[in-house]
Amino acid sequence: MRYGRGHRAVAVLNGIDLSVSPGEFIAIVGPSGSGKTTLLGLLAGLDVPSQGVVKVEGHDLASLTEDQRAEFRVRRMGFVFQTFQLISSLTALENVMVPLELQGETGERPRRRARELMSRVGLADRMDHYPAQLSGGEQQRVGLARAFSSDPAILLADEPTGNLDDETGSHVASLLQTLNRERGTTLVLVTHDLSLAERADRIVRLRGGTLAPEAGEGGGD
């Protein structure tokens, strides 16, 4: 993956060869500037590779139009962000309902599903609160419930514990791992948190835009 043109072009990722199995939990780690977030953006179809191919569920993402990639994300992917990305004018429950509504769900199901997940992440008593009324840990758990609300086949997470204290981060990490295993969701996350990475089935290490040779197995348990 290169940004810019001609002699000013900068290679961010180079020679990446990575496969992720359905239901696998992988953690992408590496120093700042190693290309972790760029790799996540390529997997999400938010960026198009300047060389090579990114295939997700058999689809070459670069061959799809921008609208088709957006539709694919809505139908097949969930996202957890370091900065939560909740809609401030919606309650916690309404935020969790958003992915289902984007899929055209109507009636009582989106609300029932959102209530189920809010309870699952321990926020049954915070459903009607707005983001500004929630702590950082509570906002991240709302983001987690939102990411899983549409039962995505693939969940991408960018530093999901980066803005949380150790105790809250550990709780969010446990929820990610549990939901991944219960629902069989393919989970790919970028993290600097090695305790979170060690929960993964596999750790992928990036250095200078390439896969580090010592990339190996994570803890998994």
Domain ranges of the chain: 24-213
C-alpha span between 149 and 204 (Å, rounded): 27
pLDDT given for residue 13 in this prediction: 83
**Strands 186-190 and 154-158, how do they pair?**
parallel
**Strands 10-11 and 2-3, how do they pair?**
antiparallel
Question: pLDDT-based confidence at 28, cuts 50/70/90?
Answer: very high
CB atoms within 10 A of CB 124: 11
pLDDT in tens, 1-25: 444 444 444 456 888 899 999 999 9
C-alpha span between 140 and 134 (Å, rounded): 10
Percent of the chain with pLDDT strictly greater than 70: 90
pLDDT given for residue 213 in this prediction: 65
Give the lowest-confidence range in 83-87, 100-104, 178-182: 178-182
Sign of CA dihedral 131, 133, 135, 138: negative
Token readout for 198 is 């060690």
pLDDT given for residue 10 in this prediction: 46
Give the lowest-confidence range in 5-9, 102-106, 203-207: 5-9
Question: pLDDT-based confidence at 142, cuts 50/70/90?
Answer: very high
Average pLDDT, the chain: 87
pLDDT given for residue 8 in this prediction: 45
- Whether the pLDDT of residue 184 is over 70: the answer is yes
pTM, two decimal places: 0.83
pLDDT given for residue 162 in this prediction: 85
Q: How many residues comprise the chain?
A: 221
What is the Cα 138 distance to its own chain's centre?
A: 17
- H/E element, 66: helix 66-76
pLDDT given for residue 196 in this prediction: 92
Q: Does domain 24-213 have CATH number 3.30.9.10?
A: no
- Whether the pLDDT of residue 177 is over 70: the answer is yes
Q: Are 169 and 123 in contact (CB under 8 A)?
A: no
Higher pLDDT, 164 or 88: 88
